[in-house]
Chain A
Amino acid sequence: MDPLMPPPVRRIALDREPHIAPPATSPNGAGSGAVVPSEAHRRLTRPDPATVRERMRIESVWLAYGENWVVRDVTLPVRKGEVLALIGASGSGKTTLLRSLNRLTEITAGAARAGRITLEGEEIHELEVNDLRRRVSMVFQQPNPFPMSIYDNVAYALAEQRPPRGRRRRRTAELEQAAQEALRRAGLYDEIAADLDRSALKLSGGQQQRLCIARALAAEPEVLLLDEPCSALDPISTATIEELIVRLRESVAIVIVTHNLQQAFRVADHVAFMHLGELIEYGPSEQVFDRPSQQRTRDYISGAFG
């Protein structure tokens, strides 16, 4: 590990000043397509690597738990209409980086961040945290439906935080429609349409995970974070969820952390390889897997370590 001096740490709870960073340069020269020409913003074509719009941008981000730096100087774009896969061995900081995108790292005491993470150009630390988490939603490794009915699981995600005073809550019919829509997008509706009122805990593992995806999609987020969503599932459920991911990327930017390299290759448009907190290589999926430019990437992909 090179003895890099970390930049000044911004304790998340204390410093509310926006951290203005100079325009980022793409790391390792691999992501030259990441800098988007502004004219291309409104073009509604099929995602074309050169013109997709950036949803989020991670700029020279350092993350620490206490004194322990787990992410070191990572710069990455998260683009609309694309699946970005974070790969790397255990302890490479990919999950921490993922969790920092909707500020879930803040739940852990002593978490600190340096650098800049923006959502649609806005520093995420400036946003109201629950607002941010509705816009950048997350699905976890273990399916974790709430102990309530299937319908309630989705409706809970939809229910407004604080209904404005004097105005009534949204009508049930509307809510029901939105919940059905979310279940449909997650490809679950046809299987469970008859028992929406059954306990979500009675579903199979794969169905539970798709319910969690439906729940995460219900509030129509802009970015969907998936933390090894298939590692607790059987191959058939995994295939269903992978198809779902590929389908969903049309409407939502997806970041997926995975230990499964085949899975990363199947679903991802861009792949970022991390090792011990550092971003080693970032580029289009075919390039990273077929012609990796770094020796460490080559070693990892060919199974030399990790």
Chain B
Amino acid sequence: MEAGGLVPAPARPIIVRPRRQSSASWPLIDRIGYWLCWATGIALCLIALAIVVFMFVKGIAYLRPALFVKSPAPSLQQSQSGGFLDPIVGTLIITAIGTVIAAPAGVALAVWISEYGRPVSLARAVESAIDVIAGVPSVVLAIFGLLVFSESFLGFLSQNAVNGSVYGRSFFAAGIVMAILALPLIVGSTREALAQVPDRVREASYALGKSRASTIRWVLLPSIRPQIASGIALGMGRIVGDTAIITILLGVTLTTEGVGSVPLIGTLRGTGSTLTSYVYNNSPAGEGNAPQKAYAAAFVLLMVVLALNALVTRLTGGRERGGRLSALRRALASRRPEWTR
């Protein structure tokens, strides 16, 4: 139809908006409930805002560029006690180990439970096991981990004393236990996403003569990528923020102490610290008692968590969105088989 054929718009249209509903006519109990909801919501926003603002003000006040490049040093003089280079590196190492183990394992577990799940009894058992792990306090996981990694057959993962006893505390040990901590989050969000994919999508793929495996690989997993990413981000947040496992399983050294002469493996077998243990150590409750540095480190910790979340979301957020990272995504895409490009 031509534009000229349309009814001309009125010169001054009268726009009717729905009148705002008033709660005056409600029963008293409903009104109280309504205002309580309001109050809780606003209170929560205020608390979140307070955390961010407080950490920001305190953190910025004590943050110095030098803190990022200096290793912690044992000194009672605040000007001599160094920065938190090692804790930052430690956090990154632990997160990397935990994620590299937990992400593929978690996605695989979730796919198995929701797409195969046979025999049913085994699937139920696995589900309960995941629930149990999700409910275990991280300090219990840490103690259990110390027990396991002190066994002599796992000696290659940590420091060994001359008499043959195994220290059981290392980046490897802490990273692996962190993976267990993050696993339920990744399994949970992947399973939920798979459950939301309608069965007609699976049927459509089967009806084209595709096997279950290729349906999962090429249809289901790509379509739930954002949810997998958010599960991984949640897991990473959990890893970055956990203190108990670090305190118990990463040793007590504030600096990264390698073992042996092999460069990377030596570091990973050795002990160190992360931002969480650094904050704990420097807080008034810890040995260092340098609250200024604790505030600065806690601020960095907060920023690391937020940055990780943003990075994972950007990396996996789909192809439509452009940006500075799209070149990286294109590079990743070029490693995919032809038909997905």
A32 proximal to B (CB < 8 A): no
Give the contact-size bracket for chain B. 20 to 34
Instruction: Give chain A nearest CB distance to B340 CB in angstroms.
Output: 6
In the complex, what's the smallest C-beta–C-beta distance from A95 to chain B, in angstroms?
12
Could you tell me the distance in whole angstroms from the C-beta of A66 to the nearest C-beta in chain B?
Answer: 17
Contact A157 B208 (CB under 8 A): yes
Q: Which 6 A-B pairs have the closest CB atoms?
A: A134-B209, A155-B339, A133-B209, A138-B207, A147-B223, A130-B209
Within 8 Å of chain B (Cβ to Cβ): is A289?
no
Is B48 at the interface (CB under 8 A from chain A)?
no
CB-contact partner of A130 in B211, B218, B320, under 8 A: B211
In the assembled complex, the Cα of A172 lies from the Cα of B338 at a distance in Å of 7
For residue B209, which residues in chain A have a CB less than 8 angstroms away from its CB?
130-135, 137, 161, 219
With A144-B200, A148-B222, A199-B320 given, is the CB distance from A161 to B210 under 8 Å? yes
The answer on a CB contact under 8 Å between A137 and B222 is no
Q: Given A131-B209, A133-B209, A137-B209, decide whether A144 and B339 contact each other with a Cβ distance below 8 A.
A: no
Q: What B residues does A215 contact at CB under 8 A?
A: 204, 208
A169 sits at the interface (CB 8 A): yes
> Considering the chains assembled together, what is the distance between the CA atoms of A161 and B214 in angstroms?
8
Q: A144-B201, A152-B339 are in contact. Are A216 and B208 (CB under 8 A)?
A: yes
A133 and B206 contact, Cβ closer than 8 Å, known pairs A140-B200, A156-B218, A156-B219: yes
User: Which residues of A have CB within 8 Å of B198?
Assistant: 144
**A219 surroundings in chain B (CB, below 8 A):** 208-209
Instruction: Tell me the minimal C-beta distance from B2 to chain A in angstroms.
Output: 20
- A133 engages B218 (CB within 8 Å): no
Please, how many angstroms separate the alpha-carbon atoms of A102 and B205 in the complex? 13
User: Please, could you name 28 A-B residue pairs with CB atoms under 8 Å apart, sorted by A?
Assistant: A102-B207, A130-B210, A131-B209, A132-B209, A133-B206, A133-B207, A133-B209, A134-B209, A137-B207, A137-B208, A140-B200, A140-B207, A142-B200, A144-B198, A144-B200, A146-B219, A147-B219, A156-B219, A156-B339, A157-B208, A157-B210, A161-B210, A161-B211, A169-B337, A172-B338, A175-B339, A212-B204, A219-B208
The yes or no answer to B115 lying at the interface (CB within 8 A) is: no
Is A107 in contact with chain B by the CB < 8 A criterion?
Answer: yes
Q: Which residues on A sit within 8 Å (CB–CB) of B151?
A: none
Give, as a whole number of angstroms, the nearest-CB distance from A87 to chain B.
Answer: 22
* Secondary structure call for the B interface: helix
Cβ of A104 and Cβ of B339 under 8 Å apart?
no
B208 touches A104 (CB 8 A): no
Q: What separation, in Å, do the CA atoms of A146 and B202 have in the docked complex? A: 9
Give min CB distance, A129 to chain B, whole Å.
8
Give B residues with C-beta under 8 Å from A.
198, 200-201, 203-211, 214, 218-219, 222-223, 320, 337-340
Min distance, Cβ A17 to any Cβ of chain B, angstroms: 25
Closest to A154 in B: B339
Q: Does A50 contact B (CB under 8 A)?
A: no
Which residues does chain A contribute within 8 Å of B214, judged by CB atoms?
A: 161
Which residues of A does B touch, CB under 8 Å? Answer: 102, 104, 107, 130-135, 137-140, 142, 144, 146-148, 152, 155-159, 161, 169, 172, 175, 199, 212, 215-216, 218-219
Partner of B339, one of A140, A147, A159, A216: A159
Q: Bound state CA distance, A135 and B338, in angstroms?
A: 24
- Residue contact A147 to B222, C-beta cutoff 8 Å: yes
> Given the complex, which residues of B lie within 8 Å of A175, measured CB to CB?
338-339
Q: Which residue of chain B has the shortest Cβ distance to A221 in the bound complex?
A: B209
A9 to B60 Cα, complex, angstroms: 76
- Across-interface contacts of A218 in B (CB, < 8 A): 208
> What chain A residues lie within 8 Å of B208 (beta carbons)?
133-134, 137, 156-157, 215-216, 218-219
Given the interface pairs A161-B211, A161-B214, A199-B320, the reply to whether A144 lies near B204 with Cβ below 8 Å is yes
**How far is it, in angstroms, between the C-alpha of A152 and the C-alpha of B219 when the chains are bound?**
10
In the assembled complex, the Cα of A212 lies from the Cα of B204 at a distance in Å of 9
With a CB–CB cut-off of 8 A, which chain A residues contact B222? 147-148
Across the interface, which residues of A come within 8 angstroms of B337, CB to CB? 159, 169
What distance in Å separates the Cβ of B15 from its nearest Cβ neighbour in chain A? 30
Report how far A162 CA is from B222 CA in the complex, Å: 19
Instruction: Give the Cβ gap from B94 to chain A, nearest Cβ, in Å.
Output: 34
**Cα of A131 to Cα of B210 in the assembled complex, Å:** 9
Q: How far is the CA of A107 from the CA of B202 in the complex (A)?
A: 10
A133: B residues at CB distance < 8 A:
206-210
Q: Which residues of B contact A148 (CB under 8 A)?
A: 219, 222-223, 340
Q: Tell me the bound Cα distance from A132 to B208 in angstroms.
A: 9
B223 — which chain A residues lie within 8 A by C-beta? 146-148
**Cα distance A48–B109 in the bound complex, in angstroms:** 56
